Structure 1
Amino acid sequence: MADCNFNNTSLNKSCNNSNSTSSSDEEDKNVQFIMHVATCIIIAIGLPLTLVAIYSLYSLVRKDHVAPIYVINLLISDLIQLCSLIGWEAKPKNKQITEIFECIHFYGMVASVGFMVCIALERYLVIAHPLWYRFRRTIKISVAVCVFVWAVPLVPLIIYLREVNVHIMMIVLFLLPLPLFIFFLGGTLKALSASKSVRSDEKRRIVGTLVLVLVSYTLLFSPSIINLFIFALGRFNTSLCNMSYMFFKMSALADLFLYIFMKKGTIDKLLASLCCCRMDNNDVSSSSVAMTTGTESA
């Protein structure tokens, strides 16, 4: 496939610069059409839900309430990605406009990864270092961190525009958050039993958030990391290229689940539902066993 339409990162260059031997042009058109429809569905679902989530979280921001700020900025970065996808799917004839949308999407994507790290770090500090977190969690510090995260993507963006060791830069950029997420989750679980200042429902919500961040990042970005490694070795896989592209687009939808996990009572309701299902199954099993025993006795 000559063009996988990767509008972000060096994956775009990987797909555009490769001459794949597709079975036919008709198959190529069908795949592109399916990807276009899937992208439109992602935009149609993600854009309104992201706006609603941002408004809902913004209403929760009060004095010394740090956690929603990072989630709001994460959703804003997702909003930037979704808006850039609209411009990309419009397929402008001017190549410079296309490159602008590509850079905007790249910037939003890197910023979203940065805010995912901030959310995981903040959740880790609540459990592992509660006293330090209690005296340091101010709105000013949170705003300063957000400004820093929004500024950081400018560095890889400059490297991306100059096309200097883009693949190596992207591999490092995508791999770096993984050990951080694993460390935050492991450290949280280790300190969980010793923590007495955090309520049990808050602990479940924190662990649930960290697990969600790690799992979603691993599932959505692993294909892209593998694809970059393959292309860096001088090879190309069309199917993996397309899958990586679609997973990148789905990351904006996956971040909406963080909004759900940040709401109080969500984990408890989920666990209560699972417990009710298990109790119902146990009741059915007990009834079946009782009926069978009664029949045998008769």
Structure 2
Amino acid sequence: MEDFYINNTSTDTSCNCSSINTNASLDYFTVVQWIIICAGLPLTLVAIVAVYSLVKNDHIAPVYIINLLISDLIQLCCVTAWKFVWNDIIYRTYFFGVLASVGFMVCISLERYLVITQPLWYRFRRNIKTSLIVCVVVWILPLVYVLPLYFDVNFDITETIFAVFVLLPLPLFIFFLVGTLKALSTARSVPADEKRRIVAILIVVLLIYTLLFLPSVIWSLVEKARNNRIFHSMAFLFLNISPLADLTMYVFIRKGAIDKLLASMCGKMFNKQEKNSMSNDNMSASCSEV
């Protein structure tokens, strides 16, 4: 992925029309990056402190969200450093943060999926110690991509490792979302507002992953995409935007005004499922009486 950044920061010194257009696009790219840096760094720090206040013995999801925000903070710091100096350490650290963020997105989706599909198991098995062990494993996994960079492994091999690492969670995200939607009616111990927040988080995670991470996978695997300068720049810019998008996780784990919005958006779906659940209960009760 090294060319991913170098090609976006290189400038053409020739004085023709194409160089003017290229410099204009690079200036636009730089402005957007500075906006992301200036907004992302303070908001991420505030979000980490706010989410940390939610971490209790019976709260696991905030632990994964905190680690996700820390990985985002690493990315933002690297992008900031790139504005002043570029070197291999910053580059490797940046993509280490990118891969770690993908791992914690999987953890968040899995944890929310278990709340709905396995509420009893989740209630008795969840604990902070287990979640911290999982976090350590997630922080170690990106080394599978980072370490080969120190041994000058072939470019195509490292890009394939990156693409596979980022692409593997896609079926998991889809499975967690579909499985949660199917199990909503049977999760009677989970309040309706909590169900709405869980579904919202799963949808947001899938959208962030699909819109912001998949373009970089295409860039890594498709040679034509690498040679297309517009796609090249947009794919890297989408990765830069992902830390800002991850801040929405904090919104959906807090009770508040967002519940009213989710209730209006998801009300029909939940009401239908509740009616089906009540009808099934009535049928089973009538059968038992007979």
Q: TM-score range by the shorter chain?
A: 0.7 to 0.9
Q: Using the TM superposition, give the Cα deviation of residue 160 of structure 1 relative to its aligned residue in structure 2, in angstroms.
A: 3.5
Aligned to 2:37: 43
Q: Hey, what's the Cα distance between the residues in 1 that align with 2:164 and 2:54?
A: 35
Q: 8 Å contact 2:193–2:263 — kept in the other structure? A: no
Name the SS of the counterpart of 1:60 in structure 2: coil
Judging changes above 3 Å, is the alpha-carbon distance between structure 1 residues 40 and 269 closer, same or farther for their aligned structure 2 residues?
A: same
Q: 8 Å contact 2:225–2:232 — kept in the other structure? A: no
Match of 2:196 among 190, 204, 217: 204
Provide structure 1 residue ranges, at least 5 long, that are not aligned to the other structure. 1-7, 276-298
Q: Tell me the alpha carbon deviations over residues 240-281 of structure 1, each in whole angstroms, 9 at most, x when there is no partner.
A: 001001100000100000111111235422136769xxxxxx
Name the SS of the counterpart of 2:115 in structure 1: helix
Judging changes above 3 Å, is the alpha-carbon distance between structure 1 residues 136 and 37 closer, same or farther for their aligned structure 2 residues?
A: same
Q: Hey, what's the Cα distance between the residues in 1 that align with 2:61 and 2:95?
A: 25
Q: 8 Å contact 1:227–1:237 — kept in the other structure? A: no
Q: Hey, what's the Cα distance between the residues in 1 that align with 2:2 and 2:118?
A: 36
Aligned residue identity for 1:262: I
Q: Percent identity?
A: 52
Q: 8 Å contact 2:196–2:263 — kept in the other structure? A: no
Say if 2:118 is the partner of 1:129. Answer: yes
Q: Hey, what's the Cα distance between the residues in 1 that align with 2:194 and 2:148?
A: 41
Judging changes above 3 Å, is the alpha-carbon distance between structure 1 residues 180 and 32 closer, same or farther for their aligned structure 2 residues?
A: same
Which protein is bigger by CA-based radius of gyration?
1
Aligned residue identity for 1:246: L
Stretches of 4+ moved more than 6 A in 1? 13-17
Provide structure 2 residue ranges, at least 5 long, that are not aligned to the other structure. 267-290
Aligned residue identity for 1:152: L
Judging changes above 3 Å, is the alpha-carbon distance between structure 1 residues 64 and 271 closer, same or farther for their aligned structure 2 residues?
A: closer
- The total of aligned residue pairs comes to 260
Judging changes above 3 Å, is the alpha-carbon distance between structure 1 residues 121 and 234 closer, same or farther for their aligned structure 2 residues?
A: closer
Q: 8 Å contact 1:261–1:267 — kept in the other structure? A: yes
Say if 2:158 is the partner of 1:169. Answer: no
TM-score, scaled relative to structure 2: 0.83
Judging changes above 3 Å, is the alpha-carbon distance between structure 1 residues 129 and 274 closer, same or farther for their aligned structure 2 residues?
A: closer
TM-score, scaled relative to structure 1: 0.81
Say if 2:109 is the partner of 1:120. Answer: yes
Q: 8 Å contact 1:220–1:250 — kept in the other structure? A: yes
Match of 2:62 among 68, 73, 76: 68
Q: Using the TM superposition, give the Cα deviation of residue 26 of structure 1 relative to its aligned residue in structure 2, in angstroms.
A: 1.9
Say if 2:68 is the partner of 1:106. Answer: no
Q: Using the TM superposition, give the Cα deviation of residue 9 of structure 1 relative to its aligned residue in structure 2, in angstroms.
A: 5.8
